Structures are given as C-alpha cells and as structure tokens.
C-alpha cells in the first residue's frame, strides 16, 4: 500500500470514529462550534488571503482562464461571505432527530421514522476554495464527518481555510483535508467504501465522470449546467431581456448560468434585436439557428454541438421555436436537467412548462442564477444534484441526512 493509500485510509478510519462522536452532539453544541468557525475564518483572513495569492499566481502561470481564476479568487468580501454563510448555517433548524412519521401498530409497537446523519462523506472538488468551508460546515451541522479533497489549483487556500475551521473545537477528525492533489488520491477516496457512506464530486464533467466510474459508494452529482430560458409568445419582453442578460452575464463560470435562449417565433422579430443589443453590450458572443440568423445576421451559425454545450463563458446559443411544446422537447433533449426557465404572462403556459420540463429546478419569470442553496434559504450549499435519488436540486442540510426506524415495545414476540 502506498503512502497516499495509507494516509487516506487512516483518515477514513478517523472519520468513521468521529462520525460516531458527532452523533452525540446536541444542536446547541454544534451551533456554538459553528459560530466559533466563523470567528476563526475572519481572524485568519490575512493568512487565507496570502495563501490565495499563491494559488492565483500559480494559476496565472498555468494559463487558467479568466473564469477559472474568478472561481479561485478570494478577497475580503468573499471571505466575509464565507464566514457569514457559516453563521447562517448555525441559525438554521437542525434536521437531525426530526420525527418524519410516527405510528402505533395493533400489537402495541410504537414506530418512529427519524432523520439521522448519513455518517461519513467524501467531497471532491475543484477551484473554488469556499467549498472547503461550505461543505465542512453543512456536514458538521448534520453530524457527518467529512473528508475533503480539493484541487491542486486551490491547495494553499484550502489548507488555510481548513486550519481556521480546526481551531474552532470540532471533534477530532470531524473535518479532514487530504494533503495530496494527485489523481491517485481521488481513486483511493472513491474506492474506500469501508469508511465512506457517500461521495459528492463538485467540478468539471471530467472529474465527475472519473469519480462515478471509480466510486464504490453512492455518488450525488451533476455533470453539466446547460440551462435554458424560453421567451414565450406571452412574455413581457423587457422582463425577458433583463432575465436573459442577468442569467447569462451575472456570473458566467457557474453551473446556473444561462447557455441557451429559446424564443417563440411569434415574438422573435421584435424581441431578438432588443436582447441582442443588451447582450452585445456585455460582450456576449451570439450563436443562432438559421431563423435567428435571418433576424441577427451578424450572429455566428450554431452547430448541433452548441445545443449541448456548457460554455461557462460569454457565449449564448439562440434558437427560435414554434411552440411551448417544441421548447420543452428541445430542453428535455439537450438540457442537463439542472435549471430551466419560462418567461410568460400566461399562467397556463407557465404551468404546462413547469410540469413538462424534466429538470431539478424549473422557474417561471426568475433568473437561472437563483438556482442556489443560499437563494433557497438553505445557507451554504453542498452542491446541486441532477440525480433523482436521493437528492435533487440545491442540496442543503436535509439532503445530508438519511433516516432510521426506531421501534419501541413492551416485550412483543412474533407468533
């Protein structure tokens, strides 16, 4: 067994022991530690910023894109947001111990279905160092021990943040950061089903596909964020323009950014020049179908590949469709089941869209950027799932729990 294997397996054993200890902490005890974590993040901000500067410098030398560097960047505002997110988690109701259902059988057995921690969770992620804090505190709040494996591009930042969290008095080994960034560490963690109950990858499609192919335990994930906005014939056009521009340009390198705009043919001639002007003012490259090019002749012809591409850049695909049915068909064929939006004043059309689109999040007259655990009121999110079992959409505290049946009796035996 290699040094990497020995180290990570030892971390797994420690995480399992820590999970049993965490199960005995009360909500008040966990919240006190979480508030101490927020204080530690603020107090260690200079060290975190210095570590992040090392990562940014290395990232520039490696030629990381502007979007990737933005994901990596920490500044005082983002560190404060990280600390505030930890504090918000401390204020949220603790799902652990919640009685989901309770009943009594004719033979006198009293049965309860109770929320409990999943146990031990591995998180594999890239680029964003804030995930170190977000993942750790959500798992801690729900009584789960965590093993974190961040990307090489953020290693200095991740170590500094993990050190701040360790100051706060969490149970020994409740939060552990793997010090290795090579591919072997991913394979070891993904194969460690004797110690891990669940693994959650956050990052590019390549990373997630690798984890899924290697994992010996359940995986919760999403591959792409190919999000759509459909401007219906009954759309308020100024609203549709504003929502399109916000969804595409507010932050381009994220999974809930807009990638494809679908426009009803009845409003296309009037609407497309309006939205194109505002998008071009934000330096967005437009790629359109043949009907779009007839209205926007300076757009780039879209290819079949464009409809299934997550750009994570200032690029937007545009397609004119004949009906809501056609829009839904396009989304269900090319989308990633993440987040899709209809803009319309027709409530019946909106309800048809919401029922018909097979995505984790379906919105009516809302920017795709609201597909986020924080915006849903979950506090810091662990990620977004496009799976259907056991979690779907933004994942908060409840999604980090399982349940068990507790049965109480008076000596019943089965006859």
Taking CB atoms within 8 Å and a gap of at least 24, the contacts of 55-62 are: 55/129, 55/153, 55/154, 55/155, 55/156, 55/157, 58/153, 59/153, 62/153
**What pLDDT is attached to residue 373?**
86
56 contacts 78 by C-beta, under 8 angstroms: no
pLDDT tens for residues 210-224? 999 999 999 999 889
pLDDT tens for residues 38-74? 999 999 999 999 999 999 999 999 999 887 898 899 9
**What pLDDT is attached to residue 142?**
97
Q: Is 37 helix (H, G, I), strand (E, B) or coil?
A: helix
Q: Is 363 helix (H, G, I), strand (E, B) or coil?
A: strand
pLDDT tens for residues 371-392? 998 899 886 678 899 999 889 9
Domains and CATH numbers, the chain: 3-221+396-408 (3.40.605.10), 227-370 (3.40.309.10)
pLDDT at 204 over 90: no
On average, the pLDDT of the chain sits at: 95
Q: Which of 232, 234, 240 is nearest to 320 (CA)?
A: 232
pLDDT tens for residues 312-336? 999 999 999 999 999 999 999 999 9
- CA-to-CA distance for 299 and 292, rounded, in angstroms? 8
């Amino acid at each position: 067994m290699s040094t990497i294997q020995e180290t990570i397996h030892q971390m797994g054993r420690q995480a399992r022991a820590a999970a049993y200890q965490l199960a005995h902490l009360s909500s008040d005890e966990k919240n006190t530690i979480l508030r101490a974590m927020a204080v530690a993040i603020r107090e260690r901000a200079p060290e975190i910023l210095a570590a992040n500067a090392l990562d940014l410098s290395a990232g520039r030398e490696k030629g990381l894109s502007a979007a990737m560097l933005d994901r990596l960047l920490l500044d005082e505002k983002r560190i404060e947001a990280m600390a505030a997110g930890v504090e918000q988690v401390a204020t949220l109701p603790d799902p652990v111990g919640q009685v989901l259902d309770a009943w009594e059988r004719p033979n006198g057995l009293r049965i309860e279905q109770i929320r409990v921690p999943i146990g031990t969770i591995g998180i594999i992620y890239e680029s964003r160092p804030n995930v170190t804090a977000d993942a750790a505190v959500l798992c801690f709040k729900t009584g789960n021990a965590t093993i974190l494996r961040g990307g090489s591009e953020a290693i200095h930042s991740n170590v500094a943040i993990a050190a701040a969290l360790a100051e706060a008095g969490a149970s020994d080994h409740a939060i552990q950061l793997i010090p290795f960034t090579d591919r072997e560490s991913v394979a070891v963690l993904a194969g460690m089903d004797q110690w891990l109950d669940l693994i959650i990858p956050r990052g590019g499609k390549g990373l997630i596909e690798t984890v899924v192919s290697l994992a010996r335990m359940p995986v919760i994930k999403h591959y792409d964020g190919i999000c759509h906005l459909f401007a219906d014939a009954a759309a308020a056009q100024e609203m549709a323009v504003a929502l399109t521009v916000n969804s595409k340009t507010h932050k381009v390198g994220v999974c809930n950014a807009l990638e494809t705009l679908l426009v009803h043919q009845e409003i296309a001639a009037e609407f497309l020049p309006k939205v194109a002007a505002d998008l071009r003012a934000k330096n967005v490259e437009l790629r359109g179908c043949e009907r779009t090019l007839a209205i926007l002749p300076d757009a780039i012809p879209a290819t079949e590949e464009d409809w299934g591409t997550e750009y994570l850049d200032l690029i937007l695909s545009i397609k004119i469709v004949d009906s809501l049915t056609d829009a839904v068909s396009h989304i269900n064929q090319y989308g990633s089941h993440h987040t899709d939006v209809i803009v319309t004043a027709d409530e019946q059309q909106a309800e048809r869209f919401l029922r018909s689109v097979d995505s984790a999040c379906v919105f009516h007259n809302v920017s795709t950027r609201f597909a986020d655990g924080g915006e849903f009121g979950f506090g810091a999110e662990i990620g977004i799932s496009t799976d259907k079992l056991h979690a779907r959409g933004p994942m908060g505290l409840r999604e980090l729990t399982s349940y068990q049946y507790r049965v109480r009796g008076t000596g019943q035996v089965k006859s």
